[in-house]
């Protein structure tokens, strides 16, 4: 899948499998806020990109709700990854946990739920899915 917004931010897909995705980027000078640290919008876009990719591996899906908590700042040049894993999959919705990590430290935590529009996996029973996070 080509995503012009991800390309504009310099984000790269490192891993994509059913219900999971890893997206990476580097904090550039144009990603900084007035404090000289990574803008929350950049980190959110990184996490949201991993969320979108992971959730659409099982067919078309659109976001219902998202939340992000920020824990530590990053400066220019920092390498950062968003690691999305499916925590619940039902016939019509799915929920994902996305850890935003830099140098082995948790920078932010994103959770999001999608509405599944159909396609592959419509017969998935409620409450099933990949509940175990994968090793990165």
- Domain around 63: 4-116
* Contact between residue 14 and residue 24 where contact means Cβ atoms under 8 Å apart: yes
Distance CA 33, CA 91 (A): 40
Render pLDDT for 64-121 as a digit per residue (tens, 0 to 9).
999 999 999 999 999 999 999 999 999 999 999 999 999 999 999 999 999 999 755 5
3-state secondary structure of 58: helix
Q: Is 55 annotated as a binding residue?
A: no
The residue assigned the tokens 């996070």 is 133
Q: Each residue of 119-130: pLDDT tens digit?
A: 555 445 444 444
What total of structural domains would you count in the chain? 1
Backbone φ, ψ for residue 4 (5° rounding): -60, -35
Is 58 among the domain residues? yes
Any domain includes 33? yes
Task: Let me know if residue 136 belongs to a domain.
Answer: no
Q: Is 63 annotated as a binding residue?
A: yes
Query: Is 92 annotated as contributing to ligand binding?
Result: yes
Give the predicted TM-score (pTM) of the model: 0.86
Tell me, yes or no, whether 69 lies in a domain: yes
Place of tokens 């929920």: 95
How buried is residue 87: exposed, middle or buried, by Cβ count under 10 Å (0-12/13-18/19+)? Answer: middle
89 domain residue, yes or no? yes
71 is in an annotated binding site: yes
Tens of pLDDT, residues 51-63: 999 999 999 999 9
Q: What is the CATH number of the domain that holds 88?
A: 3.10.129.10
């Amino acid at each position: 899948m080509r995503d012009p917004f991800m390309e504009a931010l310099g984000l790269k897909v490192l891993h994509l499998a059913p219900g999971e995705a890893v997206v990476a980027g580097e904090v550039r000078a144009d990603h900084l806020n007035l404090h000289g640290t990574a803008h929350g919008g950049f980190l959110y876009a990184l996490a949201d990109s991993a969320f979108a990719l992971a959730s659409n591996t099982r067919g078309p899906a659109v976001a219902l709700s998202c939340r992000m908590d920020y824990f530590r700042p990053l400066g220019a040049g920092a390498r950062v990854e968003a690691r999305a894993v499916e925590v619940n999959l039902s016939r019509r919705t799915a929920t994902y946990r996305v850890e935003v990590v830099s140098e082995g430290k948790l920078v932010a935590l994103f959770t999001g739920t999608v509405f599944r529009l159909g396609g592959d996996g419509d017969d998935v029973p409620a409450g099933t899915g990949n509940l175990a996070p994968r090793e990165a």
